[in-house]
Structure 1
Amino acid sequence: MDYVLVHGTTQSPRGWDRLAAALDARGHRAVPVDLLAGGADLDAEEYADLVAGQVAAATAEGPDGGDGGADGPAVVVHSGAGALAAAVAARLEASRVVWLAAFVPDTVGGRSLLDEMQVSAAQMFNTEWTQLAAPPTEDPVTAGYFLFHDGDLATLRWGLESVRLFQPARVFAQKPRPLPESAESTYLLPMRDRTLRPHWMRATAEVRLGVKAVEVDAGHCPHVSAPEEVAGIIAG
């Protein structure tokens, strides 16, 4: 199967390298995409077109991914990229969406991410995260504390090399669209997350996606600290 890996707001595509290797070892094809390749001021549909172009180029150059071919790819979204999940899944005709410590849009109430944050930030995010004066990508100590605190020293150093800021303001202000009915959801919930609150992620997975979250003993970037475990869950 093909796994399209969509990075969040604090990492570049390099942050997927460990998970991509684990998926490849299982006979799948991982396709990391770069959302900044088209600029940082696109809407969700424009980012979906950008992703589709990168996926088409990557899959044209390499062999087919495992037993994939008949079904659409799986789209893996991390963190804030959850706001793009529906648009990307629809554009790629995805068979599955994997939400990795990801924001799940409020398709029930029709609120954008910014609208929801105005009234529910305390329920959604760790207090320390909301009190940051600057993006965590500007300081390696801050990035390490929030993103890579659950790994060893080598993992911390590796993770810091993947840090990069991505702020899709137009996407975060957009009203959410529903997921395609054909796309199933899997939600991976890292129980030691220091950004999104685990209890909020669990509740939104159940209410907005209709699934029970799969819990992992990790921080906000389990694809960095526990790639084999994540690959085993999403490809199992």
Structure 2
Amino acid sequence: MDFVLVHGTTQSPAGWDRVAKLLRAAGHRAIAVDLLTPADLPVEGYAQHARDQYDGERPVVVAHSGTGVLLPAIAEALDARAMTWVAAYIPDFSGGRSLRDEVVELFAPEWIGVDPTADPAKASEFLFHDCDPETEHLALDSLRLFSPAVLAAHRAGPAPEIPSTVIVPTRDRTLKPEWMRQAARDRLGVTALEIDAGHCPHMSRPAEIAGILTGHA
């Protein structure tokens, strides 16, 4: 099985290193794509950019946090067999609202306006608070801002007909767990899987994330 791993808005692809290593040890392929480009792209441009970095067929595409905006387009570009949303924004497919329109409902109020790449203490508090010291060090090294305008402004079309798994960390301090649970039900028609973790369970609970990915692929 192939897994294409899509970094979020505050980490480089290195954030997926531990999960990728576990997936490969279990006999799978794991490709962490890098969405950062010299210039901002439209959603379709980022989907093609991911496509250019993958040479396989019918992967499971996994996205974290704000790149949930891009997950449907990337999954369709790669002819994905499934999508997995890890502590991720799920677009408003039927209502047409953008992430920007839903900021107050979606994010913890203390997080709005924070740039964790400029404030390691805030990164530890909101993103990596459940990590052990070694993991926290690795996580802080992975910090990198990815915030093209399209993430906030994009209005999704119809939901793709691709099976979805939603992973909700119950101790997330960044995105509201209750919002993610409801969005999974209302927008994707699935019941979220819950994990006892903060916003970056791929860092703090990599074995559990790898197990969920392989078990639900």
- TM score, norm. by length of structure 2: 0.96
Can you list the C-alpha shifts for 1:15-63, whole angstroms capped at 9, x where unaligned?
0000001111111111001100x2351111000000000112xx5xxxx
SS of the counterpart of 2:47?
Answer: helix
Q: Distance in 1 between matches of 2:47 and 2:29?
A: 19
Q: Residue 40 and residue 224 in structure 1: after superposition, are their counterparts in 2 closer, same or farther (change >3 A)?
A: farther
Report what 2:62 is aligned to.
Answer: 76
Are the counterparts in 1 of residues 66 and 151 from structure 2 also a CA contact under 8 Å? no
Aligned pairs for 1:128-143 within 5 A: 128-130=110-112, 132=113, 134-143=114-123
Runs of 4+ in 1 over 3 A off after TM superposition: none
Aligned pairs for 1:161-172 within 5 A: 161-172=141-152
Can you list the C-alpha shifts for 1:99-155, whole angstroms capped at 9, x where unaligned?
0000000012011212233xxx1x21112102x4x4111111111111111011111
Computing the radius of gyration from Cα coordinates, the structure with the larger value is 1
Q: 2:101 aligned with 1:101, yes or no? A: no
Q: Distance in 2 between matches of 1:40 and 1:172?
A: 16
Gapped runs of 5+ residues in structure 2? none
Q: Distance in 1 between matches of 2:80 and 2:30?
A: 14
Gapped runs of 5+ residues in structure 1? 60-68
Q: Distance in 2 between matches of 1:179 and 1:94?
A: 14
Are the counterparts in 1 of residues 3 and 62 from structure 2 also a CA contact under 8 Å? yes
- TM score, norm. by length of structure 1: 0.88
Q: Residue 44 and residue 145 in structure 1: after superposition, are their counterparts in 2 closer, same or farther (change >3 A)?
A: same
Q: Distance in 2 between matches of 1:199 and 1:208?
A: 14
Structural RMSD (CA)? 1.2
Q: Which amino acid aligns with 1:109?
A: G
Report what 2:167 is aligned to.
Answer: 188
SS of the counterpart of 2:53?
Answer: helix
Are the counterparts in 1 of residues 84 and 167 from structure 2 also a CA contact under 8 Å? yes
Report what 2:126 is aligned to.
Answer: 146
Higher helix share: 1
SS of the counterpart of 2:16?
Answer: helix
Are the counterparts in 1 of residues 67 and 151 from structure 2 also a CA contact under 8 Å? no
SS of the counterpart of 2:110?
Answer: helix
Are the counterparts in 2 of residues 73 and 95 from structure 1 also a CA contact under 8 Å? yes
Report what 2:135 is aligned to.
Answer: 155
Q: Distance in 1 between matches of 2:18 and 2:38?
A: 26
SS of the counterpart of 1:170?
Answer: helix
Q: Distance in 2 between matches of 1:204 and 1:97?
A: 15
Deviation of 1:198 after TM superposition, in Å, equals 0.5
Report what 2:44 is aligned to.
Answer: 45
Are the counterparts in 2 of residues 77 and 98 from structure 1 also a CA contact under 8 Å? yes
Q: Distance in 1 between matches of 2:165 and 2:110?
A: 28
Identity %: 54
